[in-house]
Every structure is written in C-alpha cells, then in structure tokens.
Amino acid sequence: MTEQWHPKVSYREGERCRYAGETYEAKFDLVRGLKPVGHLSEKFWRRVSLVRPTKANDSFTGRKLTNGYLTRSMSHL
C-alpha cells in the first residue's frame, strides 16, 4: 500500500508515496524532507499513474467454466 508522504521519512529508490492526491516514485535514494512537488522535483521523483484492478472474470461475463480451466476448441485447425 502506498502511504502519504511524510517529511521525516527517507525514501529508497522505487518506494512510492502519495502527495496531493497523486502517486510518486523515488528515482533513487532520497533524504528526508524532499517533497515530490516543487522546484527541481522532477529530478528526484517520478509521477506514477496507477491502473485500478478490474474483476478478473469481466471478459467471461455470462459464461461459466465447469472445471475451472479455460479451454479452447482446437477443431478449427
């Protein structure tokens, strides 16, 4: 889970935080107090767009698999 940005936390490369409703990822190890927005923040932080997970069975709506496995007909070959 991505936590809110905190001024007393040092962020390691790849760690993410939320600031002002956006998600940011540290490009490399950062010292505490470096905000993800403001002057020269693009050098240290990368804005990350998150894709919300969807239901796994959306593409199979209305069809039930009897054995739990997705099968494909090979009769057309």
Lowest pLDDT segment from 25-34, 43-52, 60-69: 60-69
The string of DSSP letters for the chain reads -PEEP-TT-PPPTT-EEEETTEEEEESS---TT--SSSTTGGGTEEEEPPPPP--TTGGGTT---SSSS-----TT-
Residue 42 dihedral angles phi and psi, to the nearest 5°: -65, -25
Would you state the pLDDT for residue 67?
A: 62
Confidence of residue 74 (pLDDT cuts 50, 70, 90): low
Confidence of residue 3 (pLDDT cuts 50, 70, 90): confident
The per-residue pLDDT for range 5-47, each reduced to its tens digit, is: 888 888 899 999 999 888 999 998 888 888 888 888 889 999 9
Would you state the pLDDT for residue 49?
A: 83
